[in-house]
């Protein structure tokens, strides 16, 4: 079996109603290891039991969910400052990922996911996050190079990446994974925050022309309407771009590529 076939063979499952399934999973208690001080001094096995850890980034350790391997558990790798407990520090890390909630408790990445953006949101489970599991072959430069193209009729990674312009930072290959249908999804959804108004620098007509090269139409009006629901102090950087783009977009209800809501259909 080739390395790619092996990676592909892993269980992975994004579904439109994954949150409902995930919310029924028994909760787990990360046994905070006092030795879990820095990325280089972590003892992941001690956190969840035997060798369930399978990946890591700069901020989170990633484990198979012990009760359902269609999901992963993301545990903050923390290093509490003087006077802060491990739990406080973990809570801050989680809050950073899910901040800016709508009145009904949905995060910004969740709204984008519902509107057909190539993203997977993360579910707040208290001191950890839950997320559907995908194939994260983007982590290997060799595999990523070979597999960034589209499979199974789905768009290649660069199309997913273009659709997420201004929405998220750090859009490197290792922050994308592929779901069971072959769709690329961004899995490290830290949201851009705007400290300034970019609108005068953004030419909406030009932006739509660039999207047209990949036959992308963004659900601009639908997203702007939902942005109004977010807390007052929450202004994703994408807002100025969306406002400039709105008059030049077809404004479909869901993000489309070639006229189809690619990230919402085929599940």
Interface residues with ligand ADP (CB under 6 A) are: 55-60, 62, 72, 74, 131-134, 136, 139, 174-175, 177, 187-188
- Nearest residue to 217 via CA among 228, 226, 204, 208: 208
In the complex, the smallest distance separating the C-beta of residue 113 from ligand ADP, rounded to whole angstroms, is 13
Complex with ligand ADP: residue 72 or 262, whichever CB lies closer: 72
Backbone φ and ψ for 109, nearest 5 degrees, come out as -60, -30
Residue number closest to ligand ADP, CB atom: 57
Stretch that binds Mg ion, among 55-63, 68-76, 106-114, 116-124 (CB under 5 A): 55-63
In the complex, the smallest distance separating the C-beta of residue 242 from ligand ADP, rounded to whole angstroms, is 25
60 binds, among ligand ADP, Mg ion, none (CB under 5 to 8 A by kind): ligand ADP
Question: Do 267 and 181 form a contact (C-beta atoms < 8 A)?
Answer: yes
Stretch that binds Mg ion, among 119-127, 185-193, 205-213, 226-234 (CB under 5 A): 185-193
In the complex, the smallest distance separating the C-beta of residue 138 from ligand ADP, rounded to whole angstroms, is 7
Question: Do 219 and 253 form a contact (C-beta atoms < 8 A)?
Answer: yes
| Three-state DSSP string of 64-80 | ECCCCCCEEEEEECCCC
Complex with ligand ADP: residue 173 or 252, whichever CB lies closer: 173
Complex with ligand ADP: residue 137 or 237, whichever CB lies closer: 137
* Residue of the chain from 57, 66, 169, 261 that contacts Mg ion (CB under 5 A): 57
Report if residue 169 touches Mg ion, rule: CB under 5 A: no
Contacts to Mg ion by CB under 5 A: 57, 175, 188
């Amino acid at each position: 079996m080739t390395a790619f076939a092996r990676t592909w063979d892993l269980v992975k499952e994004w579904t439109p109603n994954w949150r409902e399934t995930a919310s029924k999973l028994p909760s787990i208690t990360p046994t905070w290891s006092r030795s879990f001080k820095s990325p280089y001094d972590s003892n992941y096995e001690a956190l969840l039991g035997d060798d369930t850890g399978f990946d890591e980034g700069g901020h989170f350790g990633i484990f198979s969910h012990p009760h359902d391997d269609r999901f992963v558990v993301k545990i903050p790798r923390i290093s509490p400052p003087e006077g802060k407990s491990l739990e406080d520090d973990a809570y801050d890390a989680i809050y950073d990922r899910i901040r800016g909630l709508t009145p009904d408790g949905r995060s910004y990445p969740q709204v984008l996911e519902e509107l057909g953006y190539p993203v997977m949101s993360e579910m707040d489970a208290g001191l950890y996050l839950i997320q559907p599991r995908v194939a994260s072959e983007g982590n290997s430069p060799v595999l990523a190079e070979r597999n960034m193209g589209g499979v199974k009729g789905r768009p290649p990674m660069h199309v997913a990446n273009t659709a997420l312009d201004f929405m998220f930072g750090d859009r490197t290959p290792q922050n994308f994974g592929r779901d069971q249908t072959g769709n690329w999804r961004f899995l490290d959804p830290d949201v851009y925050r705007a400290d300034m108004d970019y609108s005068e620098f953004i030419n909406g007509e030009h932006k739509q022309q660039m999207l047209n090269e990949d036959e992308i139409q963004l659900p601009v009006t639908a997203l702007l309407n939902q942005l109004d629901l977010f807390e007052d102090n929450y202004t994703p950087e994408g807002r100025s771009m969306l406002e400039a783009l709105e008059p030049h977009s077809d404004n479909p209800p869901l993000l489309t590529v070639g006229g189809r809501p690619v990230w919402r259909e085929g599940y």
